[in-house]
Chain A
Amino acid sequence: MSKKIPTRDGFGKELVEVGKVNDKVVVVSADLEDATRAEYFRDAHPERFFTVGIAEQDMVGTAAGLALVGFVPFINSFAVFMTNRAYDMLRLDLCYNNTNVKVICSHAGVTVGPDGATAQCLEDYAIMRVLPNMKVVCPVDDFEARKATRLFAEEFGPMYMRTSRAPMPVLTKEDDPFVIGKANVMREGKDVTIIACGVMVSEALAAAEMLKKDNIEAKVVNMHTIKPIDQECIIASAKETGAIVTAEEHQINGGLGSAVAEVVVKECPVPMEMVAVADTFGQSGSPDELLAEYHLKDVDIAAAVRKVVKRKEGSKKEETVNT
């Protein structure tokens, strides 16, 4: 866990490699390829790189056109400009038309840091996962970013990937399995399951360590795919541990927590708590300051776990009284 790498770097480097073996892969950019690391592809494969200038709507539509004639376009921007500015194009040109376009966005979450709230996209999971045909992925580290990039090029259909600007600890190994829609269990535990994605996975692992002192053994799940969500894993975790805490660097409404709750409520009702941004905008600051300010740290996850475990024990007692 010593080395930290932004996941945007893994994406950028792997796309160059993917481009070497698949000449159908192209990039359409809107003048942020330096920030998203699509610039590596631009420099390696200039004949398959197009910029449309600062014009996100045009970027999405142009990519859809390229997909119609058999290319595999990767488009890229800050998450906020892509998913908010060009939403109608993502909905119609990509999802309704089911075109084979890959959407790669950096600069999401409060860990964007000093740029402040405008650039800190906190709603991308919600508004991407509500679109039919769209898949939504947030790789946890450099290895997953590389694997996701390869899978994006191989599998058909519109897909969204959130990458990080902030350096992320490398939590997985090169030969660990990575399947879109299949969560990875990072740590076993019997008392509670923490389901997290992105930067929050390492916070969740740190929280699990802290909770040992409370005699709580927490299972930690890396839910790298928000859509399609791994129902099987959620149901199994609910049954095994009887309580769930979700953790995401996203608004509390509509994101990972909501996606997990939709499964839990229907399939396996257990007490749940959600660690997420509480329906507010971010601000300038360092990633760590902001994670603390918006209650997205390991201590916040640990507090949520204590709360949910208490609720679980409370409901168990109630059951005993009633029987």
Chain B
Amino acid sequence: MSTQNIDIEKLKLQALQNRKDILETINAAGSGHPGGSLSAVEILLSLYSYKMNHKPDDPTWEDRDRLIVSKGHVSPVVYVTLANAGYFPKEELKTFRKFQSRLQGHVHTKVPGIEFNTGSLGHGLSVANGIGLGARMAKKNFNTYCLMGDGEIQEGSVWEAAMTSTHQKINNVCAIVDYNKVQENGPVSEIKGLEPLADKWKSFGWHVEEIIGHNFKQLIAALDKFDTVKDKPFVIIAHTIKGKGISFMEGEKGWHGKAPNDEQLQEALAELNS
């Protein structure tokens, strides 16, 4: 899809719908992770509605672009994005986290469109690198995207993988950090700060694009830039707001992993509808 044809207003409307679906899905489940789901809505929509080559009716198509969701707890935003893209019936979102549902608490390959089971942090970038190396050996042109959380990159294994990306000259993997500034027990800057984050990645030999992760134009420009950078591994640091769109959730650690009750859901939906 070319940038000229992309309808930003349509994407914004879809983002609004996805936020509602995320909240309803977590409310119905009675548990789940709204904060980091709401911060990643535009990132995932940019991938599935703009950037990635994929076929919702043929999820295992060999030449598809892949997404590894390394922060596997944001399953609500991933499942909602996939359902609304046509991967599985939206009705099924009601079964999220329920016994015998495909929609496991953390992303699972039972769900069409999910490439890898995750849920323990710091795994995704290594796996994405492996796919990238494999694609290169098999002379395949598809790309692999890897969504990570900001707190997640406190895991040392992320930096093991980051060094491998550089050393192996992996240029068909695009890492995306959802930098929403808040982790389970408080602000990232207070628990173990990441700054200077862009410099960290640069010093590991990466090309860094730093953008506002709720701005579709910036997301699309950064994702398009990825196609042109071939001499370095590529990371997008997407500055976002945890709980984005719901004033009582924004920036609040308490909404990292808690479901809104019925009253809170109505309040949140009313805010989104206003």
Tell me the smallest distance from the CB of A264 to a CB of chain B, in Å: 35
CA distance A52 to B118 in the complex (A): 21
Main secondary structure of the interface of B (DSSP, over half): helix
Contacts of B129 in A (CB 8 A): 58, 61-62, 65
CA distance A73 to B117 in the complex (A): 19
Contacts of A81 in B (CB 8 A): none
Instruction: Say whether A97 contacts B130, CB under 8 Å.
Output: no
CA distance A73 to B134 in the complex (A): 10
Interface-forming stretch among A87-95, A118-126, A179-187, A189-197? A87-95
Contacts of B135 in A (CB 8 A): 69
- The reply to whether the CB of B138 lies closer than 8 angstroms to some CB of chain A is yes
Instruction: Say whether B134 contacts A70, CB under 8 Å.
Output: yes
Instruction: Say whether A60 contacts B109, CB under 8 Å.
Output: no
Number of inter-chain CB pairs below 8 Å: 99
Provided the pairs A50-B133, A65-B128 are in contact, do residues A88 and B120 lie with their beta carbons within 8 angstroms?
Answer: yes
Instruction: Say whether B131 contacts A69, CB under 8 Å.
Output: yes
CA distance A129 to B112 in the complex (A): 30
Instruction: Say whether A62 contacts B118, CB under 8 Å.
Output: no
Provided the pairs A65-B127, A92-B123 are in contact, do residues A52 and B134 lie with their beta carbons within 8 angstroms?
Answer: no
Tell me the smallest distance from the CB of A50 to a CB of chain B, in Å: 6
Tell me the smallest distance from the CB of B36 to a CB of chain A, in Å: 19
Tell me the smallest distance from the CB of A46 to a CB of chain B, in Å: 12
Interface-forming stretch among B21-29, B44-52, B161-169, B222-230? B161-169
CB < 8 Å neighbour of A97 from B117, B126, B131: B117
Contacts of A28 in B (CB 8 A): 130
Instruction: Say whether B134 contacts A64, CB under 8 Å.
Output: no
Contact with A along B125-162 (1 / 0, CB 8 A): 11111111111011010000000000000001100110
Which chain B residues numbered 89 to 135 have a C-beta less than 8 Å away from chain A?
A: 109, 115-120, 122-135
CB < 8 Å neighbour of A64 from B122, B127, B160, B167: B127
Which chain A residues numbered 59 to 110 have a C-beta less than 8 Å away from chain B?
A: 60-71, 73, 88-89, 92-93, 96-97
CA distance A60 to B133 in the complex (A): 14
Of the candidates B109, B115, B157, the one having the most CB atoms from chain A within 10 angstroms of its own CB is B157
- The reply to whether the CB of A57 lies closer than 8 angstroms to some CB of chain B is yes
CB < 8 Å neighbour of A62 from B115, B116, B117, B127: B127
Provided the pairs A92-B118, A97-B109 are in contact, do residues A66 and B133 lie with their beta carbons within 8 angstroms?
Answer: yes
The residue of chain B having its C-beta at the shortest distance from the C-beta of A88 within the complex is B120
CB < 8 Å neighbour of A52 from B138, B140, B160: B160
Tell me the smallest distance from the CB of B183 to a CB of chain A, in Å: 19
Tell me the smallest distance from the CB of A82 to a CB of chain B, in Å: 14
- The reply to whether the CB of A303 lies closer than 8 angstroms to some CB of chain B is no
The interface size of chain B toward A, counting residues with CB under 8 Å, comes to 32
Instruction: Say whether B133 contacts A55, CB under 8 Å.
Output: no
Of the candidates B124, B156, B160, the one having the most CB atoms from chain A within 10 angstroms of its own CB is B160
Instruction: Say whether B167 contacts A61, CB under 8 Å.
Output: no
Instruction: Say whether B167 contacts A67, CB under 8 Å.
Output: no
- The reply to whether the CB of A48 lies closer than 8 angstroms to some CB of chain B is yes
Instruction: Say whether A71 contacts B134, CB under 8 Å.
Output: yes
Instruction: Say whether A52 contacts B164, CB under 8 Å.
Output: yes
Instruction: Say whether B131 contacts A61, CB under 8 Å.
Output: no
- The reply to whether the CB of A53 lies closer than 8 angstroms to some CB of chain B is yes
Provided the pairs A61-B157, A70-B138 are in contact, do residues A92 and B126 lie with their beta carbons within 8 angstroms?
Answer: no
Provided the pairs A58-B157, A62-B126 are in contact, do residues A69 and B138 lie with their beta carbons within 8 angstroms?
Answer: yes
CA distance A38 to B214 in the complex (A): 47
CA distance A92 to B130 in the complex (A): 15
Tell me the smallest distance from the CB of A85 to a CB of chain B, in Å: 10
Instruction: Say whether B164 contacts A55, CB under 8 Å.
Output: yes
Instruction: Say whether A96 contacts B117, CB under 8 Å.
Output: yes
Instruction: Say whether A48 contacts B134, CB under 8 Å.
Output: no
Contacts of A48 in B (CB 8 A): 137
Tell me the smallest distance from the CB of A2 to a CB of chain B, in Å: 43
CB < 8 Å neighbour of A68 from B115, B120, B123, B161: B115
Tell me the smallest distance from the CB of B109 to a CB of chain A, in Å: 7
CA distance A28 to B137 in the complex (A): 14
The 10 closest A-B pairs by CB, nearest first: A65-B130, A61-B126, A69-B134, A58-B160, A55-B160, A62-B130, A57-B157, A65-B127, A65-B131, A66-B130
7 contacts between A and B (CB under 8 A): A52-B160, A52-B163, A61-B157, A68-B127, A71-B134, A92-B123, A93-B123
